[in-house]
Amino acid sequence: MTHTVKPLVAGNWKMNGVRSSLAEFANITSGVSSALASKVDTMICPPATLTYLFAVGAVGTSIAVGAQDCHTADKGAHTGDLSAGMLADAGATAIIVGHSERRADHGETDAVVNSKAKAAWASNTIAVICVGETEAERKAGKAVEIVAGQLAESVPDGADAQNTVIAYEPVWAIGTGLTPTPADVAEIHTAIRSKLVDRFGDAGNKMRILYGGSVKPSNAAELMAVENVNGALVGGASLKAEDFLGILKAYA
């Protein structure tokens, strides 16, 4: 583990949650002690309908609230879309961009993801930029190549530890229960770190690289101990306070 980088554990609620979910969120915020908060940063990214409510609920706690996506433009005729500025106005301090589900379900290209990251920065929010290979790409021995390509094209110039977090999510491990071995994770995270340092110099050493893909309390400690893993982007296990707090215990 890179000890010079404070880890971040972020929960991506995806298309889950209604107003009554504030109770579960309150269980999460109250479960993070000041001692734990000194060791690890925490964030929940609820659906956009709950951003403001959660941001209000997080006041006075150590938990940050993020968003799951944004439009590339700051305003305009884009029915149904939300700009980074709107999400920031609702209380989001970070925005996930380029999640594999956005890439697959909405055909988002690296260029679109790059533009969304810039939009996040323009609204003073952190861009959590996702990369990851499919099962077919991994079986073909192309995992490192695919991730390196996404990294090169999705991360804008000017990225640093203050405005950018990288999240590696092997597509085949999301919600499937399949998890790469620590050696698999180490290989990709080391490759990502190397690419970041090559491109951004020392800033690349300080950027957080999160692991995501079937992270749960039972495997969190092992995965979080892998070199160049600076936290997790958690899906389903972030919906329940008990599970999310169980993952955070990897840093207790």
Higher pLDDT, 213 or 209: 209
Annotation marks residue 169 as catalytic: yes
What's the pLDDT score for residue 1?
41
- Delimit the domains of the chain by residue range: 8-251
What's the pLDDT score for residue 174?
84
Please report which confidence band the pLDDT of residue 177 belongs to, taking 50, 70 and 90 as the band edges.
confident
| pLDDT above 80 for 3 | no
Which residue among 99, 108, 133, 189 is the active-site one?
Answer: 99
Q: How far is Cα 188 from Cα 148, in angstroms, rounded to an integer?
A: 9
- Mean pLDDT to the nearest integer, 181-198: 97
Please report which confidence band the pLDDT of residue 39 belongs to, taking 50, 70 and 90 as the band edges.
very high
- Mean pLDDT to the nearest integer, 174-189: 91
Q: How far is Cα 91 from Cα 123, in angstroms, rounded to an integer?
A: 11
Annotation marks residue 99 as catalytic: yes
* Joined tokens for residue 186: 């180490």
Residue with tokens 């090169």: 152
What's the pLDDT tens digit per position in 13-27?
Answer: 999 999 999 999 999
Q: Among candidates 58, 4, 1, 6, which has minimal Cα distance to 32? A: 58
8-251 adopts what CATH topology? Answer: TIM Barrel (3.20.20)
| pLDDT above 80 for 225 | yes
The one-letter amino acid code at 234 reads V
Which residue among 71, 133, 169, 189 is the active-site one?
Answer: 169
Strand partners, 83: 71
Please report which confidence band the pLDDT of residue 175 belongs to, taking 50, 70 and 90 as the band edges.
confident
Please report which confidence band the pLDDT of residue 4 belongs to, taking 50, 70 and 90 as the band edges.
confident
Neighbours of 124 (CB within 10 A): 11
What's the pLDDT tens digit per position in 150-163?
Answer: 999 999 999 999 99
Please report which confidence band the pLDDT of residue 205 belongs to, taking 50, 70 and 90 as the band edges.
very high
| pLDDT above 50 for 217 | yes
| pLDDT above 60 for 185 | yes
* Joined tokens for residue 178: 């399949």
What's the pLDDT tens digit per position in 69-102?
Answer: 999 999 999 999 999 999 999 999 999 999 999 9
What's the pLDDT score for residue 2?
42
- Mean pLDDT to the nearest integer, 164-175: 93
pTM above 0.75, yes or no: yes
Q: How far is Cα 6 from Cα 251, in angstroms, rounded to an integer?
A: 10
- Mean pLDDT to the nearest integer, 223-240: 97
